[in-house]
């Protein structure tokens, strides 16, 4: 893969979540789409402001859960009915009542694992390099007390001078140009 | 969208008038009309059925247990929200208090159960055939039943029944009185005294929850479980406790959604708290099936001749259909619907789930009560009498609702003097 060069985007730093949300909201209104917010803790409003509503983690989790249910219930049925039928105090081989508990456990297990790994996969993690860490203020502030909005250069609306001017209107602490 | 989101960034002000909107009166009138129609139908069916009002009394017990659940389950949840804290507790508090204040009506509902059901022995065979030896000789009861009635006489006797019931009502009544009185006093307190009131309610509720659980366990043993004196289950009371919270939560959410058409609930019932209550519903849906299935699994595995007939009575002879539908209404439908985060945030859809949940309680109570009787056990069949279950409890619940709406109108719908009050007026996600 060729090394990408040039500007990754413009990173604006804010002191409070409400300033960030206002800027993100404004950028979305102005037509920017390729952008992201970086906050030290989850700010749901910021996610809503940049038009991020749904993701597929819940679907992955549901499919995982159903697979777990089917796998364990199928396994129990196969063992008890065909592979190794045992007469346990005269109960039927197909004892769905007793099968329910392990099947339920596997539903939870598969759903949990697929939610966790599905989330990591869909996040693009693990990621060994991200251009934003080239910005020194991002390194020191993003996990403590600063709120960042990055408008990315891949956005068709992106223009170095115009976008910088746009971001300045929201009175950020700083606007930094980030290189790949 | 810009305007919309701007308005969301500003805190709202508490409406000046906190009393219930006028349309609650319309609800009450409607509830009374429905109640009268269904009561008339139930009485006509009582004459037509020709079973000496037997099904009428069974249906009365059904309606009584549902209303008792709403009233006293409301008290339990009221105490739980004082203990847990949280913004959902503030918004739900006044509807719950209104439910608890319906206790006089619930006590009236209890009287026919006690007088006709127990004293005249129309519901409980342990009181009808207290003279078990003669009844056994005349083949009115089986030898197992005779043995159970004899063996459990220390508990299952008229004095025990009346004393327990009256003590339970007295204790619950005392709690209802003080919880309601102190809540008004807290509203009127000129100083905030947050810490004082919080500790006071926590102290009352902490012991109250425990005491209520014990009271409920004892009373459902008498009122419902003893319909079949042979059977016993230690988790029975707990199932009722969870079932009550399940129904009360659904009813509270329905009330709030219906009230949110106008102030004061309109500007105080945020999607955040609605979502939280939806999640709590989900938790109770899971806890309910956990207990119900757990009890079934243990008894199924044990396969003991003392326990298993209770389930056989409720599965064989057509009852399996009712049991399966009970599972569908009680767990499958609410569970699959409440999995969705969006659904919990949309009022109209959440309201549908709440209706399903309340209907599930109704359905479940039918499945619990009717197969206790000899003519119905392992033999689900149509009779005019069985239609009582579709009419009399509806009438009783409607009258209860009318009383509930009256109580709802008596107080401001939002409790003030609570540190959560400014928080529920904040815009959504303002904590971020």
List of chain A residues whose C-beta atoms are within 8 Å of the C-beta of residue B2: 25, 29
Q: How confident is the model at residue A139 (pLDDT cuts 50, 70, 90)?
A: confident
Instruction: With CB atoms and an 8 Å threshold, state whether B297 touches A45.
Output: no
User: Beta A7-14 vs A35-38: how paired, if at all?
Assistant: unpaired
Whole-number percent of chain A with pLDDT over 90: 49
Does the beta carbon of A43 lie under 8 angstroms from any beta carbon of chain B?
A: yes
Span B333-379, pLDDT tens digits: 999 999 988 899 999 999 999 999 999 999 999 999 999 999 999 99
Determine the 3-state secondary structure of B92 from DSSP. Answer: helix
Instruction: Assess whether pLDDT exceeds 50 at residue B5.
Output: no
Q: What pLDDT was estimated at residue B431?
A: 43
Nearest 5 degrees, angle CA B182-CA B187-CA B191?
105
* B235 half-sphere exposure, CB direction, 13 A CA radius: 17
Tokens of B353: 């789930």
Span A84-131, pLDDT tens digits: 999 988 889 999 999 999 999 999 999 999 999 999 999 888 888 888
Span B124-180, pLDDT tens digits: 999 999 999 999 999 999 999 999 999 999 999 999 999 999 999 999 999 999 999
List of chain A residues whose C-beta atoms are within 8 Å of the C-beta of residue B428: 45
Evaluate whether B388 touches B58 at the Cβ level (below 8 Å). Answer: yes
Number of Cβ within 10 Å of residue B313's Cβ equals: 21
Each domain of chain B, given as residue ranges in start order, spans 19-418
Evaluate whether A180 touches A10 at the Cβ level (below 8 Å). Answer: no
A162: which residues sit within 8 A by CB, 6+ positions away? none
Ranges of beta strands (E only) in chain A are: 7-14, 35-38, 147-152, 174-179
Nearest 5 degrees, angle CA B46-CA B116-CA B111?
105
List of chain A residues whose C-beta atoms are within 8 Å of the C-beta of residue B1: 29
Determine the 3-state secondary structure of B192 from DSSP. Answer: coil
Does the beta carbon of A17 lie under 8 angstroms from any beta carbon of chain B?
A: yes
Residue in chain B lying closest to A104 (CA):
B290
Evaluate whether A98 touches A144 at the Cβ level (below 8 Å). Answer: no
Residue in chain A lying closest to B290 (CA):
A101
Tokens of B321: 């259909």
User: Beta A147-152 vs A7-14: how paired, if at all?
Assistant: antiparallel
Give which of B414, B420, B432 is closest to B85, Cα–Cα: B420
d(CA B282, CA B343): 12
Residue in chain A lying closest to B296 (CA):
A97
Among A41, A49, A97, the residue with its CB nearest the CB of B300 is: A97
Tokens of B381: 């069949």
- DSSP, residue by residue, B204-228: HHHHHHHHHHHHHHHHHHHHTGGGS
Determine the 3-state secondary structure of A8 from DSSP. Answer: strand
d(CA B98, CA B293): 33
CA distances for A90 relative to A93, B23, B108, B294, angstroms: 9, 61, 49, 21
Q: How confident is the model at residue B408 (pLDDT cuts 50, 70, 90)?
A: very high
Number of Cβ within 10 Å of residue A178's Cβ equals: 19
Determine the 3-state secondary structure of A38 from DSSP. Answer: strand
Interface of B to A at Cβ within 8 Å reads: 1-2, 5, 9, 293, 296-297, 300-301, 303, 339, 341, 428-429, 432
Number of Cβ within 10 Å of residue B220's Cβ equals: 23
Q: What pLDDT was estimated at residue B2?
A: 38
A49: which residues sit within 8 A by CB, 6+ positions away? A21, A24, A25, A28, A37, B5
- pTM summary value: 0.89
Span A71-85, pLDDT tens digits: 999 999 999 999 999
* A115 half-sphere exposure, CB direction, 13 A CA radius: 11
Does the beta carbon of A30 lie under 8 angstroms from any beta carbon of chain B?
A: no
Span B295-316, pLDDT tens digits: 999 999 999 998 999 999 999 9
Does the beta carbon of A49 lie under 8 angstroms from any beta carbon of chain B?
A: yes
d(CA B37, CA B207): 42
d(CA B360, CA A93): 32
Tokens of B305: 């001749």
d(CA A124, CA B226): 60
d(CA A75, CA A39): 45
Q: How confident is the model at residue B1 (pLDDT cuts 50, 70, 90)?
A: very low
Residue in chain B lying closest to A22 (CA):
B6
Evaluate whether B378 touches B313 at the Cβ level (below 8 Å). Answer: yes
Each domain of chain A, given as residue ranges in start order, spans 7-53+128-179, 57-123
Q: What pLDDT was estimated at residue B429?
A: 58
- Averaged pLDDT, A147-159: 90
Q: What pLDDT was estimated at residue B417?
A: 87
Instruction: Assess whether pLDDT exceeds 70 at residue B10.
Output: no
d(CA B142, CA B120): 21
Q: What pLDDT was estimated at residue B268?
A: 86
d(CA B277, CA B255): 13
Among B1, B9, B297, the residue with its CB nearest the CB of A97 is: B297
In B62-99, which positions are buried (b, 16+ CB within 10 angstroms) versus exposed (e)? bbbbbbbbbbbbbbbbbbbbbeeeebbbbbbbbbbbbb
Instruction: With CB atoms and an 8 Å threshold, state whether B293 touches A100.
Output: yes
Instruction: With CB atoms and an 8 Å threshold, state whether A43 touches B428.
Output: no
Average pLDDT of chain B, as a whole number: 92
List of chain B residues whose C-beta atoms are within 8 Å of the C-beta of residue A42: 432
- Averaged pLDDT, B44-67: 95
- Kindly give the interhelix angle for B194-223 and B236-259, rounded to the nearest 10 degrees: 130
Residue in chain A lying closest to B336 (CA):
A62
d(CA B212, CA B206): 10
Number of Cβ within 10 Å of residue B387's Cβ equals: 18
CB pairs under 8 A between A and B: 33
Instruction: With CB atoms and an 8 Å threshold, state whether B429 touches A43.
Output: yes
């Amino acid at each position: 893969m060729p090394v990408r060069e040039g500007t990754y985007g413009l990173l604006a730093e804010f002191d409070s979540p409400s300033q960030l949300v206002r800027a993100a909201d404004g950028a979305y209104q102005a037509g920017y789409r390729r952008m992201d917010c970086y906050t030290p803790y989850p700010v749901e409003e910021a996610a809503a402001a940049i038009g991020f509503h749904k993701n597929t983690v819940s679907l992955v989790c549901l499919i995982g859960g159903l697979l777990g249910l089917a796998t364990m219930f199928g396994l129990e049925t196969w063992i008890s009915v065909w592979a190794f039928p045992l007469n346990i105090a005269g109960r039927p081989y197909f004892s769905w009542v007793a099968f329910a508990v392990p099947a339920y456990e596997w539903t939870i297990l598969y759903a949990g694992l697929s939610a966790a790994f599905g989330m990591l996969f869909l996040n693009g993690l693990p990621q060994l390099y991200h251009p934003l860490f080239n910005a020194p203020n991002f390194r020191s502030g993003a996990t403590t007390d600063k709120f960042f909005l990055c408008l990315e250069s891949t956005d068709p609306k992106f223009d170095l001078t115009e976008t910088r001017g746009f971001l300045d209107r929201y009175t950020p602490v700083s606007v930094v140009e980030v290189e790949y | 969208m810009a305007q919309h989101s701007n308005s969301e960034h500003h805190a709202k002000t508490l409406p000046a008038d906190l009393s219930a909107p006028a349309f609650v009166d319309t609800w009450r009138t409607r509830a009374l009309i429905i109640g009268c129609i269904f009561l008339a139908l139930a009485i006509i069916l009582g004459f037509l059925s020709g079973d000496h009002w037997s099904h009428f009394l069974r249906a009365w017990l059904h309606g009584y247990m549902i209303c008792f659940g709403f009233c006293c389950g409301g008290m339990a949840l009221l105490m739980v929200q004082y203990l847990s804290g949280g913004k959902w507790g503030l918004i739900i508090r006044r509807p719950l208090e209104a439910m608890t204040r319906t206790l006089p009506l619930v006590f009236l509902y209890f009287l026919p159960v006690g007088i006709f059901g127990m004293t005249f022995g129309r519901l409980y065979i342990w009181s009808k055939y207290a003279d078990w030896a003669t009844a056994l000789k005349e083949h009115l009861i089986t030898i197992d039943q005779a043995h159970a009635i004899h063996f459990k006489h220390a508990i299952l006797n008229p004095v025990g029944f009346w004393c327990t019931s009256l003590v339970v009502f007295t204790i619950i009544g005392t709690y209802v009185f003080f919880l309601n009185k102190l809540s008004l006093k807290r509203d009127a307190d000129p100083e905030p005294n947050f810490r004082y009131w919080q500790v006071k309610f926590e102290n009352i509720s902490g012991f109250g929850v425990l005491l209520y659980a014990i009271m409920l366990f004892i009373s459902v043993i008498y009122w419902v479980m003893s319909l079949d004196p042979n059977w016993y289950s230690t988790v029975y009371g707990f199932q009722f406790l969870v079932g009550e919270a399940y129904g009360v939560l659904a009813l509270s959410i329905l009330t709030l959604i219906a009230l949110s058409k106008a102030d004061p609930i309109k500007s105080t019932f945020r999607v955040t708290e609605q979502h939280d209550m939806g999640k709590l519903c989900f938790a109770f849906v899971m806890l309910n099936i956990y207990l119900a299935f757990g009890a079934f699994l243990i008894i199924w595995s044990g396969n003991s001749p003392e326990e298993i007939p209770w389930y056989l009575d409720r599965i064989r002879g057509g009852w399996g259909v009712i049991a399966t539908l009970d599972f569908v209404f009680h767990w499958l439908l609410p569970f699959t619907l409440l999995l969705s985060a969006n659904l919990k945030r949309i009022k109209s859809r959440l309201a549908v789930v709440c209706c399903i949940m309340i209907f599930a309680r109704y359905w479940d109570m039918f499945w619990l009560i009717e197969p206790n009787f000899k003519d119905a056990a392992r033999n689900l069949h149509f009779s005019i009498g069985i239609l009582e279950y579709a009419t009399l409890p509806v009438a009783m619940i409607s009258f209860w609702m009318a009383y509930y709406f009256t109580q709802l109108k008596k107080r401001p719908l939002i409790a003030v003097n609570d540190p959560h009050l400014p928080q529920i007026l904040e815009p959504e996600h303002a904590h971020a």
